[in-house]
Chain A
Amino acid sequence: MAKHLGDRGRRVLVLEAGTRTLDTWPGHLDAMNTYYAALAKVPNSPYRANAAAPSPDVLDLQGLPEGGYRATGYFLQNGALPYASDYQRATGGTALHWMGLVPRMHPDDFTVRSAYGYGRDWPLGYADLEPHYRVAEHALGAAGDAAEQSDAIGLPFPPGYDYPMRRIPRSHLDHLLATRLDGTTIRETPDAPETTLRVVTTPHARNSTPNPHYDGGRGYRPAGAAGLPNYGERCVGNASCTPICPVQAKYTPLKTQATWSRRVTLVTHAVVSRVLADRNGRVLGVEYQRYDDPAAPGHTTATAEADIVVLAAHAIENARLLLVSGLANSSDQVGRNLLDHPMLLTWGLLDRPTGPFRGPGSTSGFEGFRTGPARRARAPFRIEIGNWGWSWSAGSPGSDVARLLGIPGDTGAPRPPGVFGTRLRETLGRDVGRQFSLQFALEQDAESRNRVTVDPAHRDRLGNPRPVLTYDLSDHVKRGMVAAKAVSDHLFRLLGADDRTAYAPGPFAPGWFRFDDRDYVFQGAGHAGGTHVMGDAPATSVVDPWQRCWDHPNLYAVGCGSMPSMGTANPSLTMAALALRSCEQIDRDLRELRRPAVVRLPEGQP
């Protein structure tokens, strides 16, 4: 938004809570070293902790031996199940560690209430967003195959449109699965309709081969690394997209920031503490806290005034800011409807090498379960084919080495004898090389009980109340997981794979629960949403279809927090499309502020 508004001649002040070391090459290399040294390669592992602007971490959650969880760290959690995702407060934000997948939402994702009887409808549809999807695909540098997306999923594209770059090549595993499964039909239950399996390449915001036919034959120039010229113009398959792409072939907002016009001013080390508004609802600006040293206590407070204020701090931080400011909440919906894509992972061994730990984390998926009549009864899902073995599901390959050495991580029991030397290497090569996993991303429906609140008794070091999260999964989502597991069982059988999926309570399974007498463990996808929900009426939603707060004509809350449902696609592209759409309205708002009056004499005077 800063880029688009700045390019249109608007002056933009960007207040960033975190630091901005990462947009320099030495800062990037420091993050790489931090990542290399980290014991657990979790999404926030490359990025240094910042006490002034703390970030949640997936390591803050620990499962208990009999089920249940313990939460430490920045979030306070009191829900039946834990909210299991993190984010990052630094220049570049959470998209520093995103996977970089940019599928479009399915047209049905916008009407889940009216068409399928659950969750909340969007106040706009696919057709409203379509032109903005194209702009977002240009801005993020998307690599994909529009014909395949249209044919396999039914996504409408304008005639002749294709992505800026060619699709990211399929992994060896994708090819194996396509050979064995494409065209096969399965039923998730004996009386369910048939679904035809097809491996479909996923669009990525990752540099691949530019498409010479893009933009009417003008082609596309990939954007390289921030901080080092002429670097990162192609993905080279480093296989650490989450948490950090070593060559920066993956899109991060740092690339866009490098192209900001001079009218955009970035101020870092500036934690916005509240939004200021008058009694008529007009927002005047924000109060923010400036700190110098992230490790030392001490800050000063300043204010910034603006014609229009845009909150773009992440779904949970946006809600927290509105709550502590006492604004935008006449609907009592601020902080409610907290969403994620609860993930169910399944994993096993194929009968031959799968080529794991090469290339992006997922290059293809099965898209046939994203919509259809079954959606009425259970949550729909997208299936990602996981290219990194059991890294997410079981901590491979580190955990495999530890297990073979006789030092498993989750038990205090005496160590079994280990395997060493040549035998260790051979065993690892044989087993790790056949690993594969499936990642089922379930659409979560909006529920007002899932919410962010604040408790003045729990504050961060700058005195800002920390987010208190109350989270659970609906039976609709849990039934989706039952279906996902049934589909996984079918797929493993068809593949002749050795299924190693196991769900049990324990320290690494804070997301364990029982449903219909079976165990499940879910993970967070890092897709927070819903907390300043968008709607078509002020009584029931926080923002209007332009992401403008109903209660405050010049306050915008943008991001996934506006989404009324998580849909069946990774949300970042849709978030970007919504933001670009909001820019149009902001431009109109700003023009409106300077509308000239026509001066005339009163009627009847000469």
Chain B
Amino acid sequence: MTATPAPSTLAEPPFRVPRDRADLQLFLQAALTLEHLTIPPYLTAMYSVRAGTNRPAFYAIRGIVLEEMLHMTLVANLLNAVDGDPLVANSQFVMDYPALLPFSRDKVPIALRHFGVDALETFLYIERPEYVAEPPGHPSVGEDDGWTSVGQFYATIREGVLRLTAELGEHELFRGDPARQVGPRDFYNSGGEVFAVTGLDSALKALRAIAEQGEGVSRTVYDSDDQLFGETRQPAHYFRFDEIRRQRAYGPHDTPASGPTGPAVDVGWREVHPIDPAAKVAHYPPGSAVRRAAERFNQVYARLLCVLESAFTGDPAAIRTTVPTMLELRDLAERLCRNPHPDPAKAALGLYASPTYEVTEAHFERAREDARLRA
């Protein structure tokens, strides 16, 4: 196996409640990066499943990853509402994997892994509902404690939004151009709904949707899609991953303490294409079909983020064109995962190729150049 490099880390905002608009924008940009951080590992697990197998797991991960995309969009809406610029088309936005989960007490590396117990343990850690420490400045929290959980980070943003609304007035805080808001008219196709953030109420609703789709409503296994969006409620992300890990579904009366007591969930741990979590494009021989697909994947991913950035910074309708791009990424990812690793030693271990998510500034420059040529 390749020697594991030190995990990359996200630059965390200072440990305090956002003091002013610029501070809040900094926090929200970090939140945007955080929401995106989960997407490559979830997609990697999803696309490593052998075609036509592990369907409950496939659709569970698919539903969750779409909700993470919703969270990204809601954070972008919130950032636009407070007159910020959601920036996603740069190489700092795409973390190097393995990456450390930010805002957490424990330093758990998040790697790109195939579907399996290791991947699910990581996902469970990411989505874990735990005791959330109060925001910084609260009497129960020491000045130098540092961030202890993602929940605490979001609670801090919420506190900042409330304080700044009181300080500046709702109208002034949410002075961003409403034309930048991505709304239900633009595309969305899973749990929850994209909605415009135009004031305190919609801002708090966005923060609530993000927290409760992930961790569930306090002391239950369910999210609040029924209350917020009039949709079917589902187990929150943590509990949907837990259902797969434990191969058993949560029933209507189950609680986090009871664990799942519903029907068995069919999981085939062997029905996957195992991959090397440390795979890099450089490991694939130049000129090989796998190398070409891996490079193409990174290039198309850069294009996806460029389109997303233009959707978040003035042209919300552009978000529709991300759909064919995501399908292109799906096809490339499946092509990679269904080919044995080109390194004979790794192929002998049963490993397959995989997307590496090494998206560099050169990729972004080229994507922008291509877009200019098309226009």
Contacts and interface: CB of A to CB of B under 8 A. Distances in A.
A230 B232 contact: yes
Contacts of A231: 59, 63, 189-190
A234 B189 contact: yes
A209 B184 contact: yes
Contacts of A228: 59
Interface stretch (A25-33, A49-57, A147-155, A372-380): A25-33
A193 interface: no
A414 B55 CA distance: 45
A229 B187 contact: no
B232 A233 contact: no
A29 B59 CA distance: 11
Given A25-B59, A221-B230, A229 B188 contact: no
A405 interface: no
A210 interface: yes
B185 A212 contact: yes
Nearest to A232: B189
Contacts of B190: 230-231, 233
B188 A230 contact: no
Interface string A393-416: 000000000000000000000000
A contact patch SS: loop
Contacts of B188: 233-234
Interface residues of A, number: 19
A230 B222 CA distance: 14
Contact of A26 (B55, B185, B192): B55
Nearest to B186: A209
Nearest to A233: B189
A89 interface: no
A230 B185 contact: no
Interface in B41-59: 52, 55, 59
A230 B231 contact: yes
Contacts of B225: 230
Contacts of A232: 189
A236 B326 CA distance: 12
B55 A229 contact: no
Contacts of A29: 55
Interface string A15-32: 000000000011001000
Interface residues of B, number: 19
Contacts of A451: none
A230 B191 contact: yes
Interface string B49-87: 000100100010001000000000000000000000000
A132 interface: no
Contacts of A382: none
A358 to B, nearest CB: 10
Interface in A211-251: 212, 219, 221, 228-234, 236, 247
B264 to A, nearest CB: 13
A434 interface: no
Contacts of B185: 166, 209-210, 212
Contacts of B234: 229-230
Nearest to A25: B59
Contacts of A234: 187-189
A210 B184 contact: yes
Interface string A543-579: 0000000000000000000000000000000000000
Contacts of A212: 184-185
B168 interface: no
B362 interface: no
A512 B101 CA distance: 68
A33 B52 contact: yes
A219 B229 CA distance: 13
B323 interface: yes
A511 B306 CA distance: 52
Contacts of A219: 184
Pick the most buried of A221, A230, A247: most chain B CB atoms within 10 A of its CB. A230
B323 A236 contact: yes
Contacts of A247: 189
Interface string A181-213: 000000000000000000000000000011010
Interface string B158-199: 000000000000000000000000001111111110000000
9 contacts: A209-B186, A210-B185, A219-B184, A221-B231, A230-B192, A231-B189, A231-B190, A233-B190, A247-B189
